[in-house]
Amino acid sequence: MFRRALWWIRAKATRAVERLLLRVLAAGPVPKHVAFVMDGNRRYARSHHQPIQQGHSDGFMALRRVLEACLRLGVNCVSVYAFALDNFKRSPEEVRDLMNLAHEKLIELSKHGELLQEYGVRLNVLGKTSLLPEYVREAISHVESATRNNNRAILNICMSYSAQDEMTSAVDSAIRLSLEKSDPNRCEITEDDIDAQLYTSLVGSPPLDILIRTSGVKRLSDYLLWQCCENTQIHFSKAYWPDYGFWDLLPVILDYQRKIWSQGKL
């Protein structure tokens, strides 16, 4: 009983400190768009001698935890890599479990999305969603409809996504729009034309300020490659995604603020 009470007091104190630090950080320059490659769920599960499905489930809890920290900080847009096109190559059992988890959590967000409603978050699912099972597409439709009128922040969940597919789709759309407006023999498209047709641009996402990948792997894995411009800060964390939280995010934000101040952009 005493240990449980001590744990509760410690957890309460830690949350209070986190909220205080978030208010302090929010007084400085805050990134408008932060993206995460949520890597390490499977290795986390193996290290804890748990089934892979538990790792993915714990990863969703980490998403909620990190999202709330970003929203309290004042970040306008959060993008997360939830399911890559290449993930369809995993075992049928793991793909099925991931689809079931996605369906469960999307329905939960649409029916009990207190966090999204409190912060006015509009949720978008970006990617080749036509490849997802029908029941997952229906859940996506529900949650996107439920948050359609929220206009204070954006959460992009990239599912059935790859940057190469996004860029190919954007180029195709830019060419089609150009042909509709001009002489087919003089069709020209610019970088701005392509940029405007990216999944992230179509839902109003601001330019990408920070990209974070967890689990110690140092590669982008075909995620937001076009959006990673010269001003995007890229950070690699050794923490597995289910372990990632405020204290991992804190040094990233401090580094962002330090660089903004050193460049004299304020």
* Mean of pLDDT values over 172-183: 86
The residue type at 70:
C
Classify residue 10: in a domain, yes or no: yes
Structural domain includes residue 117: no
Q: Structural domain tally of the chain? A: 1
pLDDT score for 12: 67
Query: What one-character-per-residue DSSP string does 17-55 give?
Result: HHHHHHHHHHTS---SEEEEE---HHHHHHHTT--HHHH
Write out the two tokens for 176.
Answer: 């089609």
Give me the pLDDT at residue 266, please: 56
Check pLDDT > 90 for residue 160. Answer: yes
Q: Would you state the pLDDT for residue 179?
A: 85
- CA nearest 227: which of 251, 250, 203? 203
- Chain-wide mean pLDDT for the chain? 91
Examine residue 164 and state whether it is found in any structural domain, yes or no. no
* pLDDT tens digits, one per residue of 85-113: 999 999 999 999 999 999 998 988 877 67
pLDDT attached to residue 19: 87
- List C-alpha distances in Å: 190 to 131, 186, 195: 30, 13, 9
184 within some domain: no
**Structure confidence by residue, pLDDT tens digits, 4-53:** 655 555 656 677 888 899 899 999 999 999 999 999 999 999 999 999 99
Q: Which of the residue ranges 66-75, 105-114, 203-212 would you say has the lowest mean pLDDT?
A: 105-114
pLDDT recorded at residue 62: 95
* CATH (domain of 214): 3.40.1180.10
**Cα of 127 vs its chain's centroid, Å:** 13
pLDDT at 109: 80
- Full residue range of the structural domain in which residue 29 is found: 1-76+210-266
Using an 8 Å Cβ cutoff, are 162 and 196 in contact? Answer: no
Instruction: Tell me: pLDDT of 135 over 70.
Output: yes
Q: For residue 204, is it within any domain? A: no
Better pLDDT: 188 or 13: 188
Whole-number pLDDT of residue 11: 59
Q: How many residues does the chain have?
A: 266
Q: Are 244 and 214 in contact (CB under 8 A)?
A: yes
Beta bridge partners of 33: 77
* DSSP state letters, 91-152: -HHHHHHHHHHHHHHHHHHHHS-HHHHHTTEEEEEES-GGGS-HHHHHHHHHHHHHTTT--S
Alpha-carbon distance 77 to 152, whole Å? 9
- 111 burial class (0-12, 13-18, 19+ CB within 10 angstroms)? exposed
Write the pLDDT tens digit of every residue in 216-240.
999 999 999 999 998 999 999 999 9
pLDDT above 70 as % of the chain:
92
Nearest 10 degrees: Cα torsion 221, 60, 54, 38: 20
Instruction: For residues 106-135, give the mean pLDDT.
Output: 90
Confirm whether pTM is higher than 0.85: yes
Crossing angle between the packed helical segments 52-73 and 92-111, to the nearest 10 degrees: 40
Average pLDDT over residues 117-123: 94
Is 57 a domain residue? yes
Asked, for residue 13, whether it belongs to a domain, the answer is yes
**Exposed / middle / buried, residue 253 (Cβ in 10 Å: 0-12, 13-18, 19+):** buried
pLDDT of residue 180: 84
CA dihedral 245→246→248→249, nearest 10 degrees, is 110
User: Can you tell me which residue has the tokens 């903004």?
Assistant: 260
Indicate whether 119 belongs to any domain.
Answer: no
pLDDT in tens, 145-155: 999 999 999 99
